[in-house]
Amino acid sequence: MGLEFMQVVFGIGLLLVIVAILNKLVVRPIKMVFRVGYSLVFGMILIWAFNYIGEVFGLYIPANIVTILTAGILGLPGLGLMVVLQLLV
């Protein structure tokens, strides 16, 4: 095997290492941002729908970042938790 072939193999290996590092540094945080954004949108829709229906029964959950993320990440059990907490307080 010639020296030029070994340099090409080394270059390809170095490129793969750089791509793997960029994957960890750039792509994963972007995925996390989209995941949190999805949770925010889902939580806001849940709280809006609950407040729309809960108006009939006199129930209301304030829409702030904590309640929206709770509803977005935990889903309906999180919404139920906030309703129980609202009734207790």
pLDDT score for 66: 93
Residues 68 and 40: beta-carbon distance below 8 Å = yes
pLDDT at 70: 92
Residue 29: what pLDDT?
Answer: 85
Q: Which two tokens stand for residue 68?
A: 């929206």
- Count CB neighbours of 56 within 10 A: 7
Euclidean distance between CA atoms 54 and 46, whole angstroms: 12
What is the per-residue pLDDT for 51? Answer: 94
pLDDT tens for the chain, residues 1 to 89: 677 888 888 989 999 999 988 888 888 888 888 999 999 999 999 999 999 999 999 889 999 999 999 999 999 999 999 999 988 98
Could you tell me if 80 and 51 are in contact, meaning their C-beta atoms sit under 8 angstroms apart? no
